[in-house]
Amino acid sequence: MIEQRIGKYAIAIRTIGKAGDKYQKLLDSIRNSRILPEKVIVVLPEGYALPRERLGWETFVYAPKSMIIQRIEALKHIDSPYTLFLDDDIEFDSGFVEKLLCPLTEGQFDCSTGPLFSFFPTSIAGIIAGTLTASVSKSLFHRDMYVKILRSGGWSYHTFDTAQKRYYPTESFAWTCFMIRTDVMRSLRMEDEQIWLERFGYACGDDRVMAYKLIKQGFKACIVSNAVYHHNDARTSTSKEEMDDVKPKYCMYYMHTVFWHRFIQDPETSSFQKIQNRFWFGYWKKSMEGYYLLKSMDKKNRKYAKAFRAGVAEGERYVGSTEYKNLPQIYKYEN
């Protein structure tokens, strides 16, 4: 059987039970998969009603409302060697799971997912601004990778032909969908990162943190180029007020600052590399200040400039706090 040749896995779904037709498409994808999971664990926030859409054999569990805690709560109920983590608005074909399992069962990688190019900048203005500020840019020197984390705390990306099967190593990926060795996911202890990532009740950058922590601990992640899936983006966990407000930008720049300290600067042992890191982080701050100075010529954008300054300042304050200093250090995992 395919299951015996490829590997056994479980599915963990994070939802608030309101994705409706988009959730049904996910359930249909699971039901039609050539390799069925041993378990499907659906994690909802405490106090939320179960979704009407059902597989009929899933297990529902509750956890505190949290992007991160809802992810890892499922691990308490899973004993399969691999786990496919999914948001509630994902859709994929019958061969998708097999494509993700292959690089793991072959022993080449510990985590895999498919490409999701919609998360990359698309407008010319966005591409130029991202490149000039060292926030996000097309890869020039790492075209054998999907995403490379930069010394500035930003990232570079590479697009490719999805018709040809190839494994692209990556240092970040969308948290909407990924297959991972269950023991590796446990060892990441994402609950340690939840303390600072969700300080303001809005998780931002949790995907980058999880993926790069994976890399920092000596594990490997890849993009399976032909494992294409659809993210229907139900946005059920984010209100319109949040989407229009400055809070997401404030949290993003706070996260960027803490992420740079925790995962790039603090673990670095070379004094020369630390100088380079600080130069690029300083460049990112100054260039972003210049970007928002230009944007502030339009009065409606001034609130975003304020959010940038406040977010970075809060991040700098936090890394000097006792709470930050008490966080477990980032280390290379040893088998």
pLDDT at residue 92 in the model: 96
Taking residues 175-198, what's their average pLDDT?
95
Burial 121-130 (b: 16+ CB within 10 A, else e): beeeeeeebb
How far apart are the C-alpha atoms of 258 and 289, rounded to whole Å? Answer: 18
Strands (E), the chain: 9-14, 40-45, 59-63, 82-87, 90-91, 111-113, 136-138, 147-149, 155-157, 167-169, 177-181, 221-224, 230-231
- The token duo for 9 is 């896995």
% of the chain at pLDDT higher than 90? 77
pLDDT at residue 296 in the model: 84
Taking residues 29-50, what's their average pLDDT?
96
Q: Which residue has the tokens 């594990």?
A: 219
Residue 218: which pLDDT band, with cuts at 50, 70 and 90?
A: very high
How far apart are the C-alpha atoms of 218 and 277, rounded to whole Å? Answer: 21
Residue 234: which pLDDT band, with cuts at 50, 70 and 90?
A: low
Q: Dump pLDDT digits (tens) for 104-159.
A: 999 999 999 999 988 888 888 888 999 999 999 888 788 889 999 999 999 999 99
